[in-house]
Structure 1
């Protein structure tokens, strides 16, 4: 379930209970969905609820927090992923991937495992205004760029009460963030706003598809359509993806966005070059919704602008309401 922001002893009690629940969940990941309850309205009037610009579902206007999530095999299953409004897939060193999950309309008790930020995240997140970014750390040379970016950086050093180590797996794959507590450390984080997505009835045409696979140098994702669930089932590296707190990982809309991926000036500790994923510009995309594949064009004219998706004829390409996955793939 979603949670309100908590402080003091109550928050500590929640953390203890959560750690136990996570350990049990990792031992037996089952369930029928990854959703949590929406955020309570707090001081906002219920009449302010309207369609979320991220999912198209009813939501109370709320701040945005993104969490950088580990995605190597030892980091799975994930926690809190089903509550995200948006999930971005990004290429990192050695051809592996990490996830950037964006939350606003729902806040799970915990998200993770949390890992370090990359330079590409700074450009990607500018379309959200000034969001919070929860992550585990960064290279020393990258920190000045993060400090200069329009976001609120939140690491265990910046907000120690917002992170904890789980006992379910060894470090570094056991760091989790409490998003509600993290937002307490970023009270001025931007509220969810229009980033270019449109929701509505399916576009005309499209090609029926049962499954679609996206390959990276050292990782792959497969999205398989489920008529019964009316959503795409996510598999990672040939195995069904699950969460510790919600069962099978799913998506209502999947966007495979063709982007430029080039070497950056940064390297990891092993000497591998960090890729830079450029999300400003334009190009082609494949949009999966309702068991069909649609050709699309994407456009983001500047870092401060949102990303629009259109049909080949230039009409807005509407997404299905619910969680959206944006898979950033080298063209």
Structure 2
């Protein structure tokens, strides 16, 4: 059976062939075809870097993401990288700056677009060299706006409809090989789990009536912009090496880098159970594989997936 990547590659090839034929047919006589004045929308996931301090909450549009990555940043705080493909909300934010960890995470996806507010000057060459479409406000000013209901820098938002990007119509998690199916055998019943960074805390509590893990941030229930509780169908607590990079923020704090290429252990929370799994990502261009103790692919519950990068 063809994979989602194969289907998308085939669709892209057909689109390119159609464009070539159309252009050839539109030329008259032996004259040259007029140059195109507009570019076709990109087809790939939309990744948005989202602020996650108290002043930036509640987030807007986070509940529509296919995958929510949580990572540690300077001073032990956290930021979110939200990946969208199957469902794009009208507004997403607040948008903040990119990190080195984001670049490695996004190499799992084909042709991603990264929405972010900016980056340290030392990181910009790496962003420009990465296999993605970098889209800060300077490159798409019409797509961004600042809200008047909170102070800068926590008030920058993006309108995805203003970004020239075609939906893949494929869940971003499926696109990198995650499987949604019935739970595997085994597992341990659990009411909740907590992950702590030096200056941030996340708790995931099972709510059987909602079939979700309700999210709390810094001991406060997380909510959407409309006031609903924020929850995930599956939560992955992925143990990673967190290393000091050569980058510093304006306050002199070292920027940590979470290494997501390699191997390690993880806990997958779904359906009120916790499963001990192994994760493996051989190269930066590979997708992360999660396998059970029997060596079978771990299956995920239908719905949003949160992947929390947990320092070993």
TM range (shorter): 0.7 to 0.9
Partners of 2:262 and 2:242 lie apart in 1 by: 12
Partners of 1:176 and 1:322 lie apart in 2 by: 24
SS in 1 for 2:214: strand
Deviation of the 1:275 alpha carbon: 0.2
Q: Which residue of 1 aligns with 2:261?
A: 280
Partners of 2:70 and 2:167 lie apart in 1 by: 27
Q: Does 1:81 align with 2:62?
A: yes
Q: Normalising by structure 1, what TM-score?
A: 0.79
Deviation of the 1:162 alpha carbon: 0.8
Q: Does 1:168 align with 2:143?
A: no
Alignment size in residue pairs: 269
5+ residue gaps, structure 2, are 1-10, 12-42
Higher relative contact order (CA 8 A, sep 6+): 1
Q: Which residue of 1 aligns with 2:216?
A: 235
Partners of 2:229 and 2:84 lie apart in 1 by: 19
1:104 corresponds to which of 62, 72, 85: 85
Partners of 1:122 and 1:297 lie apart in 2 by: 23
Aligned ranges 1:4-153 → 2 under 5 Å: 63-153=44-134
Q: Which residue of 2 aligns with 1:213?
A: 194
Partners of 2:169 and 2:287 lie apart in 1 by: 14
5+ residue gaps, structure 1, are 1-43, 45-61
CA contact (8 A) 1:134 1:154 kept: yes
Deviation per CA, 1:298-325: give whole Å up to 9, x if none.
0111111111101112111100011000
CA contact (8 A) 2:44 2:110 kept: no
Alignment root-mean-square deviation, CA: 1.7
Structure 1 pair 180/246, CA: closer, same or farther in 2 (3 Å)? farther
CA contact (8 A) 2:51 2:93 kept: yes
Q: Does 1:266 align with 2:247?
A: yes
Larger radius of gyration: 2
Deviation per CA, 1:86-141: give whole Å up to 9, x if none.
00000000000000000000010111110000011111100002200000001111
Q: Does 1:311 align with 2:292?
A: yes
